Structure 1
Amino acid sequence: MNATPPDCARWFTPGATLPPGGGRDAALTVTDLGELGLPTGRLVACDPIVHLGDDDERPAPFTVTVPPGRYPVQTVVADVEHPFRNRVIAAARLLVRDAPAAHWEPALVPGQDPADLADGDFFGYGVDAGVGCFLDASAHHAFPGTEDEEGVVWEAMDGGPPGPTAFLAEGVEGHTVAVFGSGWGDGCYPTWIGRAADGGVVCFVTDFRVLRFAPARPLPSGTVGP
């Protein structure tokens, strides 16, 4: 696995400007969505429209867990030149500790082994509805109707302000989900774990592949992408 971890320290620096990969700079804006509840400490990242509530499509949580609690979620929006869209969400981050990340590793689900990947490939989650999310593994059935274009997730999407989708929604029994637009749209997107010098988890970051690659044809849905 030769995919490069994100430059998260710069991405989530307010006011930063970075090249998106197409030769033009991208101005970055960091947005706080609120605190996500993780009552079991088992984080799931997925396309909420495709996966929530469907046991046949139920995504597995990452193998690395965190102490149960509430954790801030942020997005970074990139203003880039593009024929169809100028403001897109480049990454989403769940903050676990207020500490710098000394090194990064891929976030994996059971059965994934980076040694099985070809050079340049990565494990990620497939997006078919243009949005990703973070939620606790126990919240899979907390947002009824999502797969039928009903419920609080769809209400928040339909009633949100103009611009990239990003919100925190509350479902049944107090469960929450953080939903955010997935970069240029559908594709396969990796999540990375940042660890502090002492080895503790600092954050999870989903990279929507905006800041290091020029806009291109969306990748097909799947669990491995180039």
Structure 2
Amino acid sequence: MYDDPTTPVVVTGIEEVTTMRVPSGRLVVDAPWDDDTRRYEQGVPTRPPREPAVRIPPGVYRVEIAWTAGPYEFFGEQFDGVECAATRLCISDDPVVAWEMGLGVDDDVDRLPPGERPRFGADHNVGCFADASAWTTLSAPFRTCVDGCWEPREVGQLPDGCERICDELQQADLVTFTAQSGGVVWLGRTGTGDVAAIVVTNGMTDAKA
């Protein structure tokens, strides 16, 4: 929304959307589906989900959204815009003293183009946090395609267009959030080096919550 780097953009608030269960300590940070419907219909395996290399303690964590506001122009008219700039999984309440790129298990930082950051793609502008061990079950409602059409899915509706899928057998959850053009993943570490937050910024922004 704010393409001009000189545009003043401010964080107007941080909203807790829900909590989610990660019993395995392994996390998926990715789109809940990729867009190759033909592979789904043919039963062909799709790419594996993007899993950060870092592990977190098994537990229940808050999911929060950071909202920003700033002016923008559309067809010559000026507007005050509000959008979701970042989504945060809060691992602890300890202060973050350093940020680093959230590398995936298959990422090689040396192969990234100059200036590029680890990210996932999201053609439908949706990302998610999910327990990795329950990924097959949790992502299944987003992967039901018949004759080229997505089937309606039964999900828990949350504020701001987010959704939650629950696997009660494994006591694990998946929570979706807005991720325009995909998301850039960041790790926030405490003074002792522990991970306090995992943040996804929208592909069009470069701020951290």
Q: Could you say which TM-score interval applies, normalised by the shorter chain?
A: 0.7 to 0.9
Confirm whether residue 121 of structure 1 aligns to residue 105 of structure 2.
no
Distance 1:169 1:111, change over 3 A: closer
Out of 126, 135, 147, which is 2:130 matched to? 135
Q: How far does residue 181 in structure 1 lie from its aligned partner after superposition? A: 1.1
Partner-residue secondary structure (3-state), 1:91: strand
Contact (CA 8 Å) 1:102, 1:195: kept in 2 or not? yes
Secondary structure of 2:121's match?
strand
SS of equivalent residue, structure 1 residue 44: strand
> Which residue identity lines up with residue 136 of structure 1 in the other structure?
D
Unaligned runs of 5+ in 2: 145-149
> CA 1:114/1:142 → structure 2, altered by over 3 Å: closer, same or farther?
same
- For 1:113 and 1:50, the matched residues in 2 are separated by 22
Contact 1:134 1:178 survives alignment (8 Å): yes
Aligned length: 185
Matches within 5 A, 1:163-202: 164-171=160-167, 173=169, 174-182=171-179, 185=180, 187-202=181-196
Within 1, Cα distance between the matches of 2:50 and 2:8?
37
Residue 70 (1) aligns with residue 60 (2): yes
For 1:131 and 1:103, locate their aligned partners in 2 and report how far apart those are by CA, in whole Å. 27
Q: Distance in 1 between matches of 2:32 and 2:52?
A: 16
SS at match of 1:139: helix
Report the CA distance between 1:114 and its aligned residue. Answer: 1.6
Question: For the residues of structure 1 that align with 2:194 and 2:168, how far apart are their CA atoms?
Answer: 31
C-alpha separation in 2, matches of 1:123 and 1:211 = 14
Deviation at 1:66, TM superposition (A): 0.8
SS at match of 2:143: helix
Q: Is the 8 A contact 1:20 1:212 kept in 2?
A: no
Q: Displaced runs of 4+ in structure 1, greater than 6 A?
A: none
Larger Rg: 2
**1:80, CA displacement in angstroms?**
3.3
Given that 2:19 and 2:61 are in contact with CA atoms closer than 8 Å, whether structure 1 keeps it comes out as: yes
Match of 1:44 among 9, 28, 36: 28
Q: Give distance in 1, aligned partners of 2:205 and 2:120.
A: 18
Distance of 2:67 and 2:106 partners within structure 1: 32
Percent identity over the alignment? 24
TM (norm. structure 2) is: 0.75
Q: Within 1, Cα distance between the matches of 2:85 and 2:16?
A: 14
Instruction: Output the TM-score relative to the length of structure 1.
Output: 0.70
